[in-house]
Structure 1
């Protein structure tokens, strides 16, 4: 459709408040040659008669039926007045920009030569009227032939229309063949993309460049004389059908994205463009193939990064918050609520609706913080005091970024907030240490070579909750946790023999019996002759960190339990859809894991295979229940629908980040060694070993169990079937391991 601003009330961000309609360019009515349809921006409220609506509809139909670009801008600010679908699709696809009415070159391109170039183009039109020129688009890989004209109404210039015809393929071929065969070959062979020429009637490749080998793994000599089918370049037959249909209907293919297969079987994502040409009096095709796998991988990585960011936000140990610039909390995580002493993040958002006055302790500190953000956009390590729910003060370090809205106004602040209260206290203590050992805030002690406290400062006394006179003269092991008594003694012995300082962690027991974790930094003091005198030690309370590490371990165990619960829930959902196979997935999982252990591939149970087996029929959620539970043989169409479940299961599970290839195992569990399986017809080593194990387990359990359309065939029939197809459909070692389980080990399927 033609983009128009049809709402006379809503004002967009470029202050364009008008109807945008399409009318004929007056230039088309004079003696100049017709080069395109002009686009006119005008007050739509003046054009409500039926004739003009018909004119608009016809113009829109013509404009949007072309693959070329058409747009017009106002003659003053060069802002967009109208544009066709092709231009909108290009900017969204290539630049990630959703263009809109009123956008200027400065909004469409980064500052630099392209903004300057478009100003020159529009100004040239205003100066000399209609003209044409070739223009390389922003990516530098495509070319447009521009026709620029003025739109007039009653001799007044009201717009500048631009018709951009994509001349990329023409220029590529023209440049390649312009002078002589050698120049053509140089351009053809040194391209960064795959270039190839093939006959149109039978598809035989008659020439290609060296990039063909880089992308697909076939040398030029291997490719010439073969067809794409013989080389297996199309991973999916339907993709080739799409190419053939496009060539028949339009005579060309442009930027068609599909899945290709390399010589080694690796699947890649490519963009294909094809143009039919005459060569030696016979029709040929010139193809350009670009490997866009890295681009798609990057896009996927960005999506995954977004998911990981959300998970990180919720589970981060550091506090994280998003606060509007005027001081209203938009989002906080649990760690932030914990730092500020709230029970939950919801409570924090509800009670601290005015972030500036409720959370920040010192308004001057916040004012300075906002000023720095406005000036530099980011602030790192900004330290401030925050107010806890109970009124207490916590020192925090902010790493923050200010985000602006489309109107250029400050919108919100994202911050990582770290509780640095302990560090600030340590810093203050370091300052006081200069005043002497006794007043130092860092716990310190002088210890004899035999391990007695000679002198302790007030900080250590407080840490251990003993008066100094009750510590001095005592062995440090008297207040050491029983499990750590040998640790300090061994460190001191090692220092006397081999070194001068050491650092380690240990536990002390306070006078009240509570345990304090400390980071001990101990040094051996010697006299001028090198004779050991005593040890000096400083102690840092790391109890909070140790507790946090324990919490992290508990969190990891909780995640594992969540994964198990989710897997079980999905498995139950599948069984509810197909009650006749209740327990099938659980029995298959048990048998598959037993086979895996029998193969001696790993001494550890394979959790990934177990999960894949429990979810291998997940794709059946997309299949109607009347087909799943049909008490009669399935029709060909129903069978085809059932066979889609492996691919459907993969499509669901590929979005989940397992530490094992669960999605691929599920996709391949109906593949067979001889290529007769589905959905991809893989052969031999193309199939994962896990999928081979799951395939055998699935068949044996299915045949040995009752189905709605038949009675159980029995275990003997199941073992006979996998023996018969061993080496053709099933892996021989997997078949033998399965048979050994039942025959030698007496294994029985669970109830």
Structure 2
């Protein structure tokens, strides 16, 4: 029995029906009714009639019917025997009991025994509907069983992979109750807690996360992002490790988030190597800054101070870690171009000549020429190039205006002006915080970004010290 489309209407191909009937006339009547009723439902019908146990078993084995229509009471055989033998030899084959008379108790017993339906011979016209319904239910059962087998096989493969993986694989249910429904055995090696520990404590996944990182984890219950998240976990031993989690949301038909599936990987060694590399890079940046300090002792600590204030401003503005790191590195080397300016000009106590000032003004361009050759993840060269620009275009060296200047450069320019005015210079004494605040506030919106000035002023007034 194969289902094939004909004119876009689903149809069955050949349907095999086994008739268990001792009266030839009743068998022919059943054939006629079934043939009429199934004419537009299947391409062809095959019938076989038997009336005893031996022939019935032979038909089950060799004819392989799609459905059995059986009389309930026969001299050599009866409907209950048919049901019993069918369930024993071919349990997926549906049975429709056909009888001359049947009381309610007998009908209930047949259905309980395993019959799909029953039809009284006086109402033979109902037989085709019973046959269709029984065959359709059989098809549904077979399809469901096939889907369940496929799902079971898929789950077996998943569990086999998960249980052999070094990464921690998990599924956390959010609805109807919060709990772990699966945790791979690798949990024990990674965290020290067994899968059973996770099953018995639904909050364990939250508790083992470092307190400073729990807010990130808690946000997952509202929205699961595609990007991996990096969290610190505290193992059962008390050791802290770094884990990278990739999470996938699971929704129900109504679009409600009901579970989170994910993989967690111990990346402690990778994180340590990254931090070591970052520390080494910052050491190099610090050395470059110190080289300039040796050349221009009057600006000693200038880069570090500008970096400190710039980072305070960026953090108060809610900038992400990547942008803050961009600001840190850029601020630490923003005056590196002065390394080519003669020391006597940098430390000159009097007013600079026009030529000397023009040499000073070239330092952003020189810094760009030095830094743009370095492969960095941040636009450090361009930020440094812009730190003496002003919103109205009066800055240098390219006279950029507001929309052309990077946010990082706008932050550093405010911090640079504030630090320079509040510190000693060869040509003047320090003007102090008050004068520096007056300068940036007076020119907010003209030379400097007003929001950055507002944030900087708030930081200074809150007691900031270099």
Instruction: State TM-score, norm by structure 2.
Output: 0.43
Bigger relative contact order (CA 8 A; separation at least 6): 2
Higher strand content, 1 or 2: 1
